[in-house]
Amino acid sequence: MSENRPKILIVDDDPDIRDLLNLQLALEDYDIIEAENGKAAIEKIISDKPQLMIIDIMMPVMDGYEACLKIRADPELAALYIIILSAKGEIKDKVSGLDTGADAYLSKPFNPEELKAQVRAGLRTAGDRHQAMYDALTNLFNRKSFNDLLLREVAMFKRDGQDLSMVMIDIDHFKNVNDSYGHDGGDKVLIDLAKVLRTVSRPRDLPCRWGGEEFAWLLPETNLEQATIAAERLRQAIQDHDFQGVSPQTVSLGVSMFRSGENDGEALCKRADKALYAAKQAGRNRVESS
């Protein structure tokens, strides 16, 4: 599969329908992946990260309605464009499908040209959504997305009591990088650091570019001690990383944990920022917690 080609997920329990959709889209420049039910579709979305999904309603294990509801409940999957393609063609069926979060609804038998046009329009919309959610340089979540994800995690803390920690990360003496290597060198450091952060992150972790040379790292189901260990692991990985064409880099990190009785994530962010300031004041290239 090509990294540059759009990925489309086809979800139907009927292999003949999946083959037909594959055939109709074969001449377009898409990578096609498949799933046979809603549960398998969600697993594919997480692992393969398609931009668009075409999904049937009536399927075993998990139907299309439930799959759409689960996908739309996850802010990380908000960019995905969803087309329901179903034999259920009455108005009430279409209303139900769109109310679950689908973006478009087509009835079987479908018109191939209409399907292709819907896919093209859907991919444009998915691209716009991705641009709104992610930092263009590093492809990490941007600060707005981070705030949305933080609200979700705080709600989960209040509901389930699961731990939630955060790490603030600042590149040490980043101005010197731009002064010595220009903005291209600075951009390379930011891109490389984002790659290291993604490599160190677990599937549930949420790395973000906070702004400038600062990054934020949200760690669900993680207490302060565990988050401090994770931050130290990241600090070491960045110190050991070969920033080819640029001098070695280090980071300062501040760690905090969400506390019972707090209403939102504001205090969590302030404590992480306070700990980051302490790390910088103590000489940089270190982890502090608050």
Q: Say which residues have a Cβ less than 8 Å from residue 99's Cβ, sequence separation at least 6.
A: none
Could you give the CA distance from residue 45 to residue 51 in angstroms, rounded to a whole number? 9
∠ Cα 215 142 159 (to 5°): 90
CB atoms within 10 A of CB 267: 14
What is the rounded end-to-end Cα distance, in angstroms, of the chain? 44
Residue 266 a catalytic site member: no
From 36, 153, 213, 288, the catalytic residue: 213
Please say whether the beta carbons of 272 and 255 come within 8 A: yes
Q: How far is CA 205 from CA 11, 105, 220, in A?
A: 27, 33, 6
Active site members: 213
